[in-house]
């Protein structure tokens, strides 16, 4: 961390202490990197002890159908930031979405959590103070400049290239900036890996809004992108760069959106891919780019785009008749055509996704009469019954992607092929803390065992005897 930034952070801390009449923390309250460094030895010890005492304890069994079924439910990953309960949904370091809405620092006059504070929580398990959060926002703004070659690469991408492909290319090209790759090439001691992973991760997080906005402005608008404002929080800067910064409600939406899309434990495609690629000691840039390529799939993050396309097709077909009977027929048409209902179902969840609920509550507060919201609400009343009757999906309830696009449409961000990029910016808040932890705890390169069908057949027959 640069000395210049340290002094900005410290001065923000002293201002807060002066305002609140508290003792001065200016030389005491640690920065995120300092706090993580303080906590790491204890965590390393905890993991070492756990492995020594229970390393040979059996933690699960694997059925043949799981090997052929996307490894669903097999325990084999370590992920510190969040755990997903099938019924209750996500908890970030033990906290539900309403908990983080209550406990995490907010922007002045705002109600939604600041994702910067969530990043801190995911990395350390601790809620930062308002001053620490502010200092972290300033640090991110200070690190946001893009190298010229990355700007040029985005500018040269054809408008017909999907925004997610452009996003992945730009993040990959940031590899030129990797402090981890440079330190590794110089033969740095492995105990120091996490420090370079940290620096790359914070730089990368900082650069995502200008990258996302450049893609958006190039593909859909006039190609002009504003400057990051060091006085604004991360989500406000993201909104400003995209061109929607003048609406305070949209700023709040971005804070909520980035927070709830950040982390969803380790087994989902984008999180697992980032973690897997990082395990080969690829830099955070290459690791996140790999994760983004997975997020771009229609069964994962791109479902937020698919939902809108499906809603528009439905509107074209059913016109103004958004009665439950008409919606039910359209749902059956989708299913009978051998398609999935986008935004419904989940590999782990077995109830309505609390991320859906949080967005629904936001809509009820800010856009109760919006026609697209009414349509989505009516679908919510009908689709679980239809999917249950259809009898295939294990979870007939809506997931996060079912609602996010409607909120963006309301505020005028109508280009749905961009929506997964916003998800990608948010996902970085979940997967980068884990990459830093992975290197801090010295996790091994991932290499599970695979067999051919012939070999599995031999194995199960011999076990069945
Ligand atoms: N509509 C129709 N059929 C569905 C369905 C849906 N929404 N969800 C699951 N099914 C089907 C599956 O395709 C599968 O069919 P086959 O047996 O013919 O292969 C069957 O039901 C069983 O699937 P499952 O065990 O319930 O679900 P999976 O864990 O395999 O898949 C998911 C989970 C999310 C990919 C799936 O529910 C789906 O395709 N949903 C629609 C796409 C979507 O919304 N994705 C976003 C998820 C959240 C995110 O990652 O962002």
DSSP-derived secondary structure for 9-36: HHHHHHHHHHHHTPPP-TTTSPPHHHHH
Q: Give pLDDT, residue 340.
A: 97
Q: Give pLDDT, residue 7.
A: 41
**This prediction's pTM:** 0.94
Rounded alpha-carbon distances, angstroms, from residue 441 to 44, 53, 76, 283, 427: 6, 17, 16, 16, 22
pLDDT-derived band of residue 15, with 50, 70 and 90 as boundaries? very low
Minimum CA distance residue for ligand 1 atom 47? 300
Minimum CA distance residue for ligand 1 atom 16? 392
Residue 198 and residue 273 share a domain: yes
Q: Ligand 1, residues 393, 422, 426: which to mutate, most atoms within 8 A of Cβ? A: 393
Residue 330 and residue 400 share a domain: yes
Identify any residues that bridge with 113 across adjacent strands, giving them in sequence order.
106
Calculate how far, in angstroms, residue 25's C-alpha sits from the geometric centre of ligand 1: 50
Identify any residues that bridge with 398 across adjacent strands, giving them in sequence order.
344
Residues 127-136 have pLDDT tens digits of: 999 999 999 9
Residue 424 and residue 285 share a domain: yes
Residue 374 and residue 319 share a domain: yes
85 is catalytic: no
Identify any residues that bridge with 344 across adjacent strands, giving them in sequence order.
398
Residues 37-70 have pLDDT tens digits of: 999 999 999 999 999 999 999 999 999 999 999 9
Given the residues 162, 240, 261, 346, select the one marked as catalytic.
346
Mean pLDDT of 433-439: 98
In a domain, 28, yes or no: no
Calculate how far, in angstroms, residue 156's C-alpha sits from the geometric centre of ligand 1: 36
pLDDT-derived band of residue 465, with 50, 70 and 90 as boundaries? confident
Do residues 339 and 331 lie in contact, with contact meaning Cβ atoms separated by under 8 Å?
no
In a domain, 448, yes or no: yes
Calculate how far, in angstroms, residue 347's C-alpha sits from the geometric centre of ligand 1: 7
The CATH number that applies at residue 117 is 1.10.580.10
In a domain, 10, yes or no: no
Residue 380 and residue 233 share a domain: no
Residues 344-354 have pLDDT tens digits of: 999 999 999 99
Rounded alpha-carbon distances, angstroms, from residue 410 to 138, 313, 405: 30, 18, 9
Q: Give pLDDT, residue 23.
A: 32
Calculate how far, in angstroms, residue 396's C-alpha sits from the geometric centre of ligand 1: 9
Closest atom of ligand 1 to CA, residue 347: 29
- Pocket flag, ligand 1, residue 71 (CB < 6 Å): no
Count of domains forming the chain: 2
Residue 313 and residue 220 share a domain: no
The CATH number that applies at residue 401 is 1.10.230.10
Position 260 pLDDT exceeds 80: yes
333 is catalytic: no
Position 18 pLDDT exceeds 50: no
In a domain, 453, yes or no: yes
Residue 352 and residue 237 share a domain: no
Position 6 pLDDT exceeds 60: no
Supply the range of the domain harboring residue 313.
302-411
- Pocket flag, ligand 1, residue 66 (CB < 6 Å): no
Helix, strand, coil % over all residues of the chain, rounded to 5: 65, 5, 35
Position 5 pLDDT exceeds 50: no
Mean pLDDT of 140-147: 98
Do residues 318 and 327 lie in contact, with contact meaning Cβ atoms separated by under 8 Å?
yes
Mean pLDDT of 235-262: 98
* Cβ partners under 8 Å of residue 120, min gap 6: 32, 126, 127, 128, 132, 133, 136
Q: Give pLDDT, residue 2.
A: 40
């Amino acid at each position: 961390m640069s000395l210049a930034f340290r002094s900005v952070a410290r001065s923000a801390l002293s201002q807060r202490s002066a305002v609140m009449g508290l003792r001065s923390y200016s030389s005491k309250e640690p920065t995120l990197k300092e706090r993580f460094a303080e906590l790491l030895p204890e965590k390393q010890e905890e993991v070492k002890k756990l492995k020594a005492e229970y390393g040979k304890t059996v933690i699960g069994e694997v059925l043949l159908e799981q090997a052929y079924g996307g490894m669903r439910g097999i325990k084999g990953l370590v992920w510190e930031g969040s755990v997903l309960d099938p019924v209750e949904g996500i908890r970030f370091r033990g906290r539900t979405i309403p908990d983080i809405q209550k406990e995490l620092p907010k922007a002045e006059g705002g109600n939604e959590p600041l994702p910067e504070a969530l990043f801190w929580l995911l990395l350390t398990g601790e809620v930062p103070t308002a001053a620490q959060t502010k200092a972290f926002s300033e640090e991110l703004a200070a690190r946001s400049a893009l190298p010229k070659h990355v700007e040029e690469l985005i500018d040269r991408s054809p408008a017909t290239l999907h925004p997610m492909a452009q996003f992945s290319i730009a993040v990959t090209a940031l590899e030129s900036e990797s402090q981890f790759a440079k330190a590794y090439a110089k033969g740095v001691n492995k105990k120091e890996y996490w420090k370079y992973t940290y620096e790359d991760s914070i730089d990368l997080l900082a650069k995502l809004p200008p990258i996302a906005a450049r893609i958006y402005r190039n593909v859909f608008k006039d190609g002009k992108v504003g400057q990051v404002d060091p006085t604004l929080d991360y989500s406000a800067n993201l909104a400003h760069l995209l061109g929607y910064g003048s609406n305070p409600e949209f700023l709040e939406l971005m804070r909520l959106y980035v927070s709830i899309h950040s982390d969803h434990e380790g087994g989902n495609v984008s999180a697992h891919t980032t973690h897997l690629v990082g395990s080969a000691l690829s830099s955070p840039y290459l690791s996140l780019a790999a994760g983004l390529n997975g997020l771009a799939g229609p069964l994962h993050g791109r479902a937020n785009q698919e939902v809108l396309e499906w809603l528009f097709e439905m509107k074209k077909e059913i016109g103004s008749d958004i009665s439950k009977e008409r919606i039910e027929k359209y749902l059956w048409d989708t299913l009978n055509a051998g398609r999935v209902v986008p935004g419904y179902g989940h590999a782990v969840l077995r109830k309505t996704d609390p991320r859906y609920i949080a967005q629904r509550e936001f809509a009820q507060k800010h856009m109760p009469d919006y026609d697209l919201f009414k349509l989505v609400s009516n679908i919510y009343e009908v689709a679980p019954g239809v999917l249950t009757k259809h009898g295939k999906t294990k979870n007939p309830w809506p997931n996060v992607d079912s609602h996010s696009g409607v909120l963006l449409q309301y505020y005028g961000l109508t280009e749905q092929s961009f929506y997964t990029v916003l998800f990608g910016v948010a996902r970085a808040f979940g997967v980068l803390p884990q990459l830093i932890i992975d290197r801090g705890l010295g996790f091994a390169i991932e290499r599970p065992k695979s067999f051919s069908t012939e070999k599995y057949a031999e194995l199960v027959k011999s076990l069945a005897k």
